[in-house]
A and B are shown apart, each in its own frame.
Chain A
């Protein structure tokens, strides 16, 4: 595998739901794409507000964690549930050409958008050919 796919390959051990401790971890749906500027990750995290979202980059590991907080009235008992956990978690490994100091994160309407630029010196440069 080449380096580019790292972000999509190293996550599997952590993303299977761990049901042993009674809490189901939710695996958020993500889109990941790359262009010349860097990698963009978009994750669906419905129910997560900004203060309950935790994004960590440790060495080359990116971990996104968020807690679902929805308003529930008193005495409401569950009748039906597609969503059976309250915590999202997913992690990815990053490749070294990504500039983890300059990550731009945005959360709106339950969608997280993370832009991770490539190091400036590693961005592709167009070479102008001069005509004589």
Chain B
């Protein structure tokens, strides 16, 4: 679930993360975890929101070269993949080394009615923001009582 702590300090950090994990499937905010949800520390962290018209995905992926990003939507499954290569300083002594380095991939299921042809994405302050339109037929309709 998490990597082996290398020092007392990273152990404390792991405990901090663990205590948040223990919010359970219905964490502090009452939001259900996805069946594809991964353990904390998975890169990038993702938030998803939806309105009647669109679905918004935020991937917290700091320090990424956007040319390394590979985004795809197949039906209602979104895949965010890419690479973050951190140069390790050769002549330095490391005290903490928590930041993810290497390739990553996350797969998220979205509401069924997203339109894969209407997707916009931008990257700002280390957050990848993906907006997808929902198709007309998926929108809720008011039903009038006769």
A interface residue numbers (CB < 8 A to B): 4-5, 7-9, 11-12, 15-17, 19, 24, 27, 29-36, 40, 42, 44-49, 69-84, 108-111
Contacts and interface: CB of A to CB of B under 8 A. Distances in A.
B68 to A, nearest CB: 12
Interface string B1-30: 000000111001101110110010001110
Contacts, number: 165
9 contacts: A8-B96, A16-B12, A33-B89, A44-B63, A46-B62, A72-B56, A84-B27, A84-B28, A84-B31
Interface of chain A, main secondary structure: loop
Contacts of A81: 29, 31, 47-48
Nearest to A71: B129
Q: Name the interface size band of chain B.
A: 35 or more
Given A12-B12, A31-B86, A79 B96 contact: no
Which of A29, A34, A73, A74 has the most chain B CB within a 10 Å cutoff? A29
B19 A17 contact: yes
Interface in B122-146: 123, 125-127, 129, 131
